Structure 1
Amino acid sequence: MKPADEMPRPAVSREDDERFMREALAEARAAAEVGEVPIGAVVVHKGTIIARAHNRRELDEDPSAHAEFLAMMQAARTLGRWRLSGCTVYVTLEPCLMCSGLMVNARIDRCVYGATDPKGGALGTLYDVSADPRLNHAFPVVSGILEDECAAELRSFFRRLRGAHREEGAEGPHDVSRLEALEDALGGDYGKTPMPTPMKASAAVCRPPMRSHRPTAPARKGEMRGPLNVVLAIDSFKGCATSSQVEMWLAEGMHRAGDDVRVAEIPVADGGEGTVEALRHPLGGEMRSMSVPAPVAGHVDASYLLFDDAQGRSAVIEMAQAAGIGLSPRSHEAACAATTRGVGELIADAVSRGAETVYVGLGGSATVDGGVGMLQALGARVLDASGGQVVHGLDGVRDIDAIDLAPARAALAGVRLVALSDVKSPLVGPRGAARMFGPQKGLGVGLSEAERDEVLAACDGWMAAYGARLTAARDALDGSAEQVGRPGARPKSLLGVPGSGAAGGLGAALLALGAELVPGIEAVLGMAGFDDAVRAADLVVTGEGAVDAQTAQGKVPVGVARRAKHLRPDVPVIAVCGSREDELEAVYAAGVDAVLPVGAAPQALDEALDPDCARRNLRMAGETVYRLATMT
């Protein structure tokens, strides 16, 4: 009798293939966040994802670190055998010769990929390794699953990369000529049909066309068979209006346009400023306020939410309350001195009051201390060469000689830590905590360009040494399990983990304490009752102040759109914004159907940011959204 894994299996539906390919796409986007070519892969066994990975060649300096190669290695460890019979590999780009060869050697059941690779594809484009009769294994291949979305991720990445090289004349790790060739191929010859061109209009840009969810029976304009159910889940318009205000003003416009509309307003945040406020009403509970060390000097009153639910007592903490950028003058000296100690004291207070789960939002930080202050507040021993605790800030990071996490782990025994962030940057490198985000916090301000570059390079080096010691301290307590960040992830080092560079490296410190790192918007939507509202919705409206290339990298509008489409693939999603970029392919590919700028006429920035002007613009936008949704 044949082993179970070699028995015939039921056919896999296209719906299932698309579902698993979306998981591979999520991995591709994670790769883009850390500067890698956006290729992602998952391995599925008996209908369950057992491994996931994305391209890591630059981070690991490993020529074999392709997404599907890493995912297959991880799958073999999960199953405890080298044969991957019974497994399907999903990957966003057609595999190369190396990865296709591994599929043959691993005896996979099938491979499903998205976009073809006209310069290196080995499963049908340049070669077809899967059906070579000279090899000892053959397997079926399905191509073109979500190919538009897979190709859009690559094109968006290439566009940003080539722009950076043009603007800076920089020499990065990528083989730009190879990427340009692949981009050109994807732009025209890829697949069997050309990529669709997005439809453009002055007020809104749609791709794909919105689908009607109103009654299908004939109706006159304005007539409906029931109220229009709209879910608003919009981020704050920074410097202008909070999430709650944006939604309230948009709802006013919708109600002014028609009395047959029901609006569910769900204030949202992505782990940054406004997270506690967004969850305060849906979760209830009590606000706790206490005085904690400010990031630079003195103390600040910081609040967090403590609430009880079916799982027990939990707390929601915004690191920005204790160490936010608004509490810093953003000078070079302030960036070097800023500490996360206040964040650690908030966590300790929540635990002392019985919190079994602590959510920590990582957005809007003033710090680049790698979370050292937070670790010290929880009892960790972060020591210099003399055996004393290091000082606060980057000077302390520079002087670290040894780290002992055991006291902090003991203080958090039995506590589940969840870090909320939309930032996928690693701890070090050009997209890391110091080099990419340090200047936003004042690092290098007032210095010459040469001096600034020297400072940023030195800080990145200190952070790399710190990350290595932090990894060693984690491994001293956990052994070699290396189960960090999310199920299926087994990074050798915290240095390159997506999200470890969030909040100036606070993400890495929380991961070392055993925290889960999750997309902030996903967690907030889940706790705010978004899912139930969407199931009854005819339309979802999201948005933020500016919709641009960064929006596709996990910001609120894309987080809302993805979750809404997962729950209701047919529900239309509109994003409102104050401003938008011209090219938004990746935003549309992520599930947003239309982008609607709210400005009624050309305005100066200070005028557009005035709350009274913003209210007028958003009310008019609400009226427009209503009329678009009720057109027949």
Structure 2
Amino acid sequence: MRVLIAPDCFTGTLSASQAAEAMAEGWRAHAPDDELTLLPLSDGGPGFLDVLQRALGGTTVAVTVQDPLGREVPAAILLVEEEAGRTAYLESAQACGLHLLAADERDPAVTSTYGVGQLLDAALAEGATRVVVGLGGSGTNDAGAGLLAALGVGDPDLLAAGGLALAGAGDDSLGGLDAARQRLAGVDLVIATDVDLPLLGFHGASASFAPQKGATPEVAQQLEAALGRFTEVVGRSLPPRKDLLTGAMLRLDREPGAGAAGGLGYGLMLLGGRRVSGVEAVLDAVGFAERVRAADLLVTGEGTFDWQSLRGKVVAGVAEAAMAVAVPTVVVAGQALVGRRESMALGISGTYAVADRPEQVPASLADPAGTLASRTTRVAATWSPRRG
């Protein structure tokens, strides 16, 4: 049997590459004669650069940027020479990722995307004519205001002080926005997002993800109001355009993906960026369509297979691509919280959890690779039974 093993990272425990290796080890323990192809993936979040460099090659440029709390951290830019020019790939989580913060430091009211702006500035300095920014796994909720501050759009003491500070933004707080947009006018700025949510509202950045980043319900509401104020200030500096067909006003805060990474998608859209699905961008780059056609079975996975997995994440993206060529997909996840009906709609033939019950979670976290391998061995027994 030809098996394509293509997982996302298991957030907080295993990188996508480590997860793929553990799954392969488990599969071989039961079916050593199966032909395995390992293809670690990303949806734009942590691991984005590693996955792309494996597929595209290129040159890595080391830089130092600020983390969500203003401390210096190492990061990288992946430069790839293409026919149309030089493309720079950036992983925003290297600068504003939740993994950069200790548990007691997680507070999206004060964390900033300033370091992502430094990454973008460095990519422009390297002569990139196309910049692809992977969004996901952030610990911020500042609508990209910190990013804008790093590019000279406004006062860092306000814009880089976290999302809550934006409640006090004055009408003239974005005086450098036009200059920043002009600097990027000749650059194809691509926003590869892991979700398609808008900036504001019940399904926006603050309501959907701020609590996961450490916000209380009260703080999440305050962030919603602060980001709303920020969009008012933006409207004075960058009036909305009209749809040429309908005459309706186009608002960037309502665009799909504007709420990605705590609104970082919105900040990049203000600079002229266009949004694409992060997982689709990665699948195109690694030639996934050809690889899955050559497989008899696709095995994917992630830390928690839940409702978020159904909206622009790796598992949904690969399952839909496999379904299009009639290749069955199975998911091996740390925890599986999606019902059978929803998973079958994606073309998933089987879902298996490392931790089936809450009391099994500590053991899986203590030995993530070992427990993932063990679970995959049992999955292989179902999907690749021994002959004879």
TM-score, structure 1 as length reference = 0.56
2:92 maps to amino acid: M
Which secondary structure state, in structure 1, belongs to the residue aligned with residue 304 of structure 2?
Answer: strand
Shift of 1:252: 2.6
Asked which structure has the greater CA Rg, the reply is 1
Aligned counterparts of 2:126 and 2:160: Cα–Cα separation in 1:
29
Residue 613 of structure 1 aligns with which residue?
Answer: 370
Shift of 1:474: 3.7
Indicate which of 281, 287, 293 corresponds to 2:54.
281
Aligned counterparts of 1:429 and 1:390: Cα–Cα separation in 2:
21
Aligned counterparts of 2:244 and 2:104: Cα–Cα separation in 1:
37
2:242 maps to amino acid: S
Residue 135 of structure 2 aligns with which residue?
Answer: 362
Shift of 1:618: 4.3
Shift of 1:265: 1.0
Residue 434 of structure 1 aligns with which residue?
Answer: 206
1:309 corresponds to 2:73: no
1:82-481 matched pairs, under 5 angstroms: 228-329=1-102, 334-381=107-154, 390=159, 392-400=161-169, 401-402=171-172, 403-404=174-175, 405-444=177-216, 452-453=217-218, 455-475=219-239, 479-480=241-242
Aligned counterparts of 1:256 and 1:539: Cα–Cα separation in 2:
17
1:442 maps to amino acid: G
Deviation string 1:344-365 (CA, Å, 9 cap, x unpaired) is 1111111111212211111111
Residue 531 of structure 1 aligns with which residue?
Answer: 289
Which secondary structure state, in structure 2, belongs to the residue aligned with residue 336 of structure 1?
Answer: coil
2:93 maps to amino acid: A
Structure 1: gaps of 5 or more residues: 1-227, 445-451
1:597 maps to amino acid: A
Which secondary structure state, in structure 1, belongs to the residue aligned with residue 108 of structure 2?
Answer: helix
1:624 corresponds to 2:386: no
Compute the RMSD of aligned alpha carbons.
Answer: 2.9
Aligned counterparts of 1:395 and 1:527: Cα–Cα separation in 2:
37
Shift of 1:333: 8.5
> For the Cα contact (< 8 Å) 1:268–1:524, is it kept in 2?
yes
Shift of 1:508: 0.9
Change in 2 beyond 3 A, CA 1:626/1:247: farther
Aligned counterparts of 1:349 and 1:390: Cα–Cα separation in 2:
20
Shift of 1:367: 1.4
Shift of 1:241: 2.1
Which secondary structure state, in structure 1, belongs to the residue aligned with residue 166 of structure 2?
Answer: helix
Shift of 1:270: 0.9
Residue 521 of structure 1 aligns with which residue?
Answer: 279
Indicate which of 342, 352, 355 corresponds to 1:586.
342
Which secondary structure state, in structure 2, belongs to the residue aligned with residue 509 of structure 1?
Answer: helix
Identity rate of aligned residues, in percent? 35
Change in 2 beyond 3 A, CA 1:364/1:535: same
Aligned counterparts of 2:119 and 2:42: Cα–Cα separation in 1:
20
2:381 maps to amino acid: T
Aligned counterparts of 1:323 and 1:606: Cα–Cα separation in 2:
27
Change in 2 beyond 3 A, CA 1:265/1:616: closer
Aligned counterparts of 1:491 and 1:540: Cα–Cα separation in 2:
43
Indicate which of 537, 540, 563 corresponds to 2:298.
540
Aligned counterparts of 2:142 and 2:285: Cα–Cα separation in 1:
30
Shift of 1:605: 1.6
Residue 573 of structure 1 aligns with which residue?
Answer: 329
Aligned counterparts of 1:603 and 1:330: Cα–Cα separation in 2:
22
Aligned counterparts of 1:246 and 1:458: Cα–Cα separation in 2:
38
Shift of 1:421: 1.6
Shift of 1:601: 9.6
1:12-31 matched pairs, under 5 angstroms: none
Structure 2: gaps of 5 or more residues: none
Aligned counterparts of 1:340 and 1:564: Cα–Cα separation in 2:
35
Shift of 1:243: 1.4
Shift of 1:547: 2.2
Aligned counterparts of 2:244 and 2:260: Cα–Cα separation in 1:
20
> For the Cα contact (< 8 Å) 2:3–2:297, is it kept in 1?
yes
Residue 564 of structure 1 aligns with which residue?
Answer: 322
- Tell me: higher relative CO, structure 1 or 2? Use CA pairs within 8 A at least 6 residues apart: 2
Which secondary structure state, in structure 2, belongs to the residue aligned with residue 434 of structure 1?
Answer: helix
Deviation string 1:410-442 (CA, Å, 9 cap, x unpaired) is 221311111122222221123322233223222
Change in 2 beyond 3 A, CA 1:330/1:517: farther
> For the Cα contact (< 8 Å) 2:113–2:160, is it kept in 1?
no
> For the Cα contact (< 8 Å) 1:370–1:397, is it kept in 2?
no
> For the Cα contact (< 8 Å) 1:254–1:625, is it kept in 2?
no
TM-score, structure 2 as length reference = 0.88
Which secondary structure state, in structure 2, belongs to the residue aligned with residue 366 of structure 1?
Answer: coil
